Structure 1
Amino acid sequence: MNPTCPGPTLGVVGGGQLGRMLAEAASPLGVDVVVLDPTPACPASRVAEQIEGPFDDPDAVRELAERADALTLEIELADPDVLEAIGGEYDVPVNPSPDALGTIQDKLVQTRTFANAGIPVPEFVAVADAGDLADAVERFDGCMLKARTGGYDGRGNVPVEPGDDYEAKLAEVGAGEGGAMAEELIDFERELSVVAVRGDGERRAFPVVENVHREEILRETVAPARCSEAVAERAREVALDTLETLDGRGVFAMELFEESDGTVSVNEVAPRPHNSGHWSIEGATTSQFEQHVRAALGWPLGTAEARAPTVMANVLGDVPEPRPASLSGVGDVLAAPNANLHWYGKHEARPLRKMGHLTIVDVDASTDDTAARDDLLARARDLRDGLTFE
């Protein structure tokens, strides 16, 4: 698709915060965005047009295709078969490919695909019932049980130890007729991720970043990661090898484990912009969102270099129960040097719900300055902890 200004219209399945930031990145390029989302006045609707409807509804997807020159997604709940059929019906390109989406939607299929391609992954087995789970626990001396479909933000993943109630654990992850997957528990040094992007005959990889989780939810991302150059290079190699197993243009985020001996393995992959790439809005030459827009349209990619050390901290719903969203302490973030706040526009705060994020950048430090990243992480946490929901 030849770049022009004004540009084409990009249709996005999903209108959450990722869709919102995609639309924000698309606007300076002259690209209009239409999103499909079932939530009335979804976050992206403030900056893009919204078609209100289920992600997998053929009529709603057909309306999206009628109004768009290209289709992409910001959530894995889209139906790959519907996207493939309607994309073909309207001769509208769909990226990443529906085939890649179908592979990633099922964690067992995803992991098998990577293993068969020689990509390093934790040991795993399919789990159909409590007996299979008992065997997996004995084999791995405890395991991480994962729902095959539908899990996100730690939901659908639960550790299992010998002697646990295996039926209850299967119910907890929502294992249905398709069963679940059990993985060995990795004693990792740190969690890493690489956001990689494939364009029309080109590819880029953002710097390797370090993710800090608590309660299975990402809290902070440190960019670049505080790991050795050898580990960073290996992580980049694994990420780009993984990218080759998936079809279509766009951003793919690879979540990785770094073990104490420097071994790197793939945890999971998302076929879209990712929370661990939010730092790139202020911290990289071209953000992950702009890269995804360019790639989905077949436009030339931007560079993916880091401008400076950057830390992203998620702003989660720190509330005991759902309530109208009202955040205080914003002025302190706005007053802090080189700090930026991103509010997602969600009407209701819920426990641990992602409501926004902040970034802080050290414009005077080099990207290999570990002390600068340590300091940034402490400052980001202080700023984030000063934000409260009234």
Structure 2
Amino acid sequence: MTVTVPGPTLGVVGGGQLGRMLAEAAAPLGVEVVVLDPTPDCPAAPVARDQIVGDFDDPDAFAEFAARVDAVTFEIELADADLLARVADEHGVPVDPAPETLRTIEDKLVQKRTLADAGIPVPPFRRVDDADDLRDALAEFDAVMLKARTGGYDGRGNVPVSDPDDAEAAMDAVGGPAMAEAFVDFARELSVIAVQGDGEVRTFPAGENVHEEEILRETILPARTTEAVLERAEGVARDVLDTLSGRGVFGIELFETRDGEIQVNEIAPRPHNSGHWTIEGARTSQFEQHVRAVLGWPLGSTRLRCPTVMTNLLGTVDEPRPARLGNVEAVLGDPNASLHWYGKAEVRPLRKMGHVTVTGDGERDRDANPLAHARELREAVRFEHPDE
């Protein structure tokens, strides 16, 4: 594709916070964005060129969508892979990453089998269809992370299990066919944001992820580990890309084991929450990289600018309700902090409503990592409810 400005119109299936940030990154490149999402006035709508309101499996909405854009990508795994393939085959609109990649990744069991068959290190796993299968997995692995094969996100659909007496309840919690993965006693969780372009591959430095209740709370750059581990993580990420088809950004979640080895946890075929730090902390954000990659344009630099910490702003209420963020002066008045609000109309328990990024001084000074500062700012802001 020839690079011109103004450029083509990019279609994005999904209009959540990732679609919003993709549209924000596309605009300076002269690229307009049209999103397809079932929620009217979705978070991406205010910054995208237009929104087509339609379900992710609505063929009529996809046909209208394909007629409006020059290339298609997706920001959510709920996108229908068959309809994406139809966009490419019947409408002649390129789709990246490839629909077959989505088919591989959206089923966690298929994803793990693909990686294992390619010789990529993963934790031991097995298929689980019922409580008896889960008890067999516990007998083999002792403790497991039970994962719904499809539909899980942000920790939902993941249940840690160690007691066979909990098998029925765990299967009910995931709600269908699942995969049991041997519980990994890891030293830390890492992620590499990797980019497959038109004949080129680039990786961002590995970030260190901190989770609570299976939800990402913060990502820390540089990761607090050895250079050997960081190099190994990058190498594994590049091996992962060799197993997948199509261009774009991939979020690759990893475990660093106690002996310094790397195992792949999960893959997202799109920009990833653990890559939000790149907006302020890298030369080119993961969102701009994704736009460049899926359009076949040259990729940007992935160099780390300075120590950076991203911390999520999660919903703290017991039930869904309208909300806005208060005391934002704590962030906006800080010269090293940046606020990102996702435009969601309703706050829900542990829902990702936005994030704060704090940058440090000194490009590779590990002691300058602003983790404590980021946590202070996260605690300073609060949710306010206009109906109170």
Question: TM-score surpassing 0.5?
Answer: yes
Q: How does 1:114-125 map to 2 (within 5 A)?
A: 114-125=115-126
Letter in 2 for 1:28: P
Whether 1:371 aligns to 2:348 is: no
How far is the alpha carbon of 1:145 from its aligned partner? Answer: 0.5
Q: For residues 40 and 329 of structure 2, what CA distance do their matches in structure 1 show?
A: 29
How far is the alpha carbon of 1:35 from its aligned partner? Answer: 0.3
Asked whether the 8 Å contact 1:125–1:183 carries over to 2, the reply is yes
Identity of matched residues, %: 67
Give the equivalent residue in structure 1 for 2:27. Answer: 27
How far is the alpha carbon of 1:217 from its aligned partner? Answer: 0.2
Whether 1:383 aligns to 2:380 is: no
Give the equivalent residue in structure 2 for 1:152. Answer: 153
How far is the alpha carbon of 1:287 from its aligned partner? Answer: 0.3
What are structure 1's unaligned runs of at least 5 residues?
Answer: none
Q: For residues 98 and 15 of structure 2, what CA distance do their matches in structure 1 show?
A: 19
Q: Secondary structure at the match of 2:218?
A: strand
Q: How does 1:1-390 map to 2 (within 5 A)?
A: 1-48=1-48, 49-175=50-176, 179-362=177-360, 364-367=361-364, 369-373=365-369, 376-390=370-384
Q: For residues 72 and 217 of structure 2, what CA distance do their matches in structure 1 show?
A: 30
**TM-superposition CA deviations, 1:54-112 (whole Å, max 9, x none):** 11211111111100000000000011111101221111000000000000000000000
What are structure 2's unaligned runs of at least 5 residues?
Answer: none
**TM-superposition CA deviations, 1:10-60 (whole Å, max 9, x none):** 000000000000000000000000000011110000101110011121111
**TM-superposition CA deviations, 1:299-330 (whole Å, max 9, x none):** 11101111111000000111122111111110
Q: For residues 343 and 281 of structure 1, what CA distance do their matches in structure 2 show?
A: 14
Q: For residues 163 and 135 of structure 1, what CA distance do their matches in structure 2 show?
A: 9
Q: Secondary structure at the match of 2:165?
A: coil
Q: Secondary structure at the match of 1:230?
A: helix
Q: Secondary structure at the match of 2:95?
A: coil
Q: Secondary structure at the match of 1:63?
A: helix
How far is the alpha carbon of 1:371 from its aligned partner? Answer: 1.4
Asked whether the 8 Å contact 1:138–1:162 carries over to 2, the reply is no
Asked whether the 8 Å contact 2:138–2:164 carries over to 1, the reply is no
How far is the alpha carbon of 1:370 from its aligned partner? Answer: 2.0
Letter in 2 for 1:26: A
Asked whether the 8 Å contact 1:117–1:245 carries over to 2, the reply is yes
Comparing 329-338 with 26-35, greater Cα deviation is found at: 329-338
**TM-superposition CA deviations, 1:133-175 (whole Å, max 9, x none):** 1000111112110100000000010011123331221110111
Asked whether the 8 Å contact 1:257–1:267 carries over to 2, the reply is yes
Q: Secondary structure at the match of 1:153?
A: coil
Q: For residues 164 and 215 of structure 1, what CA distance do their matches in structure 2 show?
A: 21
How far is the alpha carbon of 1:366 from its aligned partner? Answer: 2.4
Q: For residues 313 and 190 of structure 1, what CA distance do their matches in structure 2 show?
A: 17
Normalization by structure 2: what TM-score? 0.98
Asked whether the 8 Å contact 2:222–2:366 carries over to 1, the reply is no
Asked whether the 8 Å contact 1:318–1:388 carries over to 2, the reply is no
Q: Secondary structure at the match of 1:43?
A: coil
Letter in 1 for 2:249: V
Asked whether the 8 Å contact 2:193–2:250 carries over to 1, the reply is yes
Letter in 1 for 2:377: L
**TM-superposition CA deviations, 1:271-295 (whole Å, max 9, x none):** 0000000000000000000000001
